[in-house]
Amino acid sequence: MLTAADSLPLTSGAGHHFVIVASRYNARYVDGMLEACLATLRLAGSSEPEVVYVPGAWEIPVAAVTVARRPARTPSAILCLGVILQGQTSHAQHIGDCVSDGLMRISVKFGVPVIHEVLTVTSEAQAEERCLHPRTNKGTEAARTALHMAELLAKLR
């Protein structure tokens, strides 16, 4: 199976600064994405990224915007990792919609790539496939996207 990450070459992370904002809620799955993300960034020669932990997906945008507006060192990309597991109500969809909107607004306002891997899944099986399986891990995809966007924006600037 071809994944979106397969379509992006592994570009160099040298000279780029990445920040990862990771939710502690559904930690088993988020940690799986985080490990894959860190491994991919290391493979690309990136310096060790800063990892910022937040309680849940809802808190990811406020941490991301705080990182984006830091005057000292703007990151090359902010990678946002979280898992929202659908329950019996529409609560998860509301959280997912608001987080998605917030992350897009941050990216456009500050001109910093905000990589959105805050997954809304309907089952534990979907979470396992996207977060724990080496071939389809969205953490790998997030890192490859961040590397690509950091390189692209450096060229465009």
Lowest mean pLDDT among 10-24, 59-73, 134-148: 10-24
The answer as to whether 5 is a domain residue is no
- Alpha-carbon distance of 26 to 55, in angstroms, equals 10
The answer as to whether 134 is a domain residue is yes
- pLDDT per residue over 80-130, tens digit each? 999 999 888 888 899 999 999 999 999 999 999 999 999 999 999 999 999
Residue 81's CATH number: 3.40.50.960
The answer as to whether 2 is a domain residue is no
**How high does pLDDT run on average in the chain?**
91
Please report the pLDDT score of residue 91 as a whole number. 86
- The model carries a pTM of 0.92
Q: What range defines the domain where residue 59 resides?
A: 16-156
- Alpha-carbon distance of 147 to 40, in angstroms, equals 9
Contact 8, 140 (CB under 8 A): no
> Among 16, 17, 91, 116, which one carries the catalytic annotation?
91
Please report the pLDDT score of residue 2 as a whole number. 44
- Catalytic residue status for 91: yes
